Amino acid sequence: MLDVSRNFFGVTYVKKFIDRMAQYKLNRFHWHLTDDEGWRIEIKHYPLLTKVGAVRGPDTKLPFTIFPAMRGPKNRVQRGFYTQSQIRDIVAYARGRCIEVLPEIDIPGHAKAALVSYPKLLTDPKDTSRYRSVQRVANNTLNPALESTYRFLDGVIAEVAALFPFGYIHLGGDEVPKGAWEHSPAVKALMQKHHLKSRREVQNYFFARVDTILAKHGKKMVAWQEVLKGRPKLRKEDIVMAWKSPQAGYKAVKRHRKTIMAPVHYLYFDQQYTRSKHEPGHTWSTPVSTRKTYSFDPGSSPYLIGVHACLWSETLLNEKIADYLAWPRALALAEVAWSSPKQKNWVDFKRRMKVHALPRLKLQGVHCRPVD
């Protein structure tokens, strides 16, 4: 997964990223296209999503004062999005390399960029809820009780479904902030009408409805593990991504949910390799060394359908940092994905990295980190 919302990466870099994935047999490119800090995919029916929602900084609706590029300059405007024709080009490029592209539209939380673009469609004017996400972004969540929310999502999903031939669309579902919806009269009315007793049930209602929209457009859903809270009415083919721990993944498997393992302590490549002020990357979880990634054993079950690493981009101020955080950890991911635990051998892997992979990547212009 590459996050292009927090910091934007152009077409050339995305293609290079895809080339390197193909070289090491990573066959699904999860493209995190929207978040609080920017909406990065052109939607013809909703042009303000990119006109307003893809630009942040002074004098814009997404100012750096609320969304600092972490450790980056705060007084500059940052912008960027992909046109539909660029998206088609990238999807075809990836397909030519046996990689399917999974687009993510992160809802209902992580949606500040959409909300500032279309406030009238997406907010209940009488909602007095005030809340912040774990990343400290204020009031960033779609309202699940407005018909206009579903009309909007239907329009967005129709275009996304037409652009991406892969059978799945990722709809996020992570980190809906506490306090969202709390003082929305529309949500109160919705709860009464449908006998929903808790926030969780409201979220379940929301995802059941958006899953119906996906079905109408011939797609199935991927979502982060939070969608499994409560009793969501999802389809059997829908997939969850377990990110908080391997145990969260096993729990989903027990419930006979198709599951992808993306546990933060092993597979979050936005985290530092080691705890040091000289290392780039995030520090909110534990460090993730290449060896730690290599040690991950996802287990086996017919419901465990893959492993997946996340390159969130809050601290990715340039392509060099992105390269550094991805490589060589992505080499370890490839072996975790395709080798049985019995075949794995850290010493041999380290030797092969040193002799083959790292010199090759260097020649290809990748700014790799040395092996730990």
Residues labelled catalytic: 35, 110, 175
> For the window 193-232, what string marks contact with ligand ACM as x by the rule CB under 6 A?
-------------------------------x--------
> For the window 236-255, what string marks contact with ligand ACM as x by the rule CB under 6 A?
-------x------------
* Integer CA distances (angstroms), 160 to 163, 286, 305, 348, in order: 5, 35, 24, 43
**Total of residues contacting ligand ACM (CB under 6 A):** 4
State how far the Cα of 173 lies from the Cα of 186, in Å rounded to an integer: 20
For the CB of residue 177, give the shortest distance to ligand ACM in the complex, in Å: 12
> For the window 53-92, what string marks contact with ligand ACM as x by the rule CB under 6 A?
----------------------------------------
For the CB of residue 224, give the shortest distance to ligand ACM in the complex, in Å: 5
Torsion of CA 252, 261, 248, 187, to 10 degrees: -70
Element (H, E) at 115: helix 112-117
Residue 266 interacts with ligand ACM (CB under 6 A)? no
For the CB of residue 257, give the shortest distance to ligand ACM in the complex, in Å: 16
Residue 175 interacts with ligand ACM (CB under 6 A)? yes
- By C-beta, is 268 or 349 nearer to ligand ACM? 268
Residue 104 interacts with ligand ACM (CB under 6 A)? no
- By C-beta, is 153 or 176 nearer to ligand ACM? 176
* Binder of ligand ACM out of 37, 124, 127, 174 (CB under 6 A): 174
Residue 240 Rama label (left phi>0; alpha psi -120 to 50; beta):
beta
Whether omega for the bond prior to residue 341 falls within 30 degrees of 0, making it cis, is: no
Residue 265's nearest CA partner among 244, 250, 238 is: 244
Q: Is 230 exposed, middle or buried (0-12, 13-18, 19+ CB in 10 A)?
A: middle
Is-contact 104 171, C-beta < 8 A? yes
For the CB of residue 312, give the shortest distance to ligand ACM in the complex, in Å: 7
Torsion of CA 221, 226, 228, 232, to 10 degrees: -70
Amino acid symbol at 88: R
For the CB of residue 175, give the shortest distance to ligand ACM in the complex, in Å: 5
For ligand ACM, the binding residues (CB under 6 A) are 174-175, 224, 243
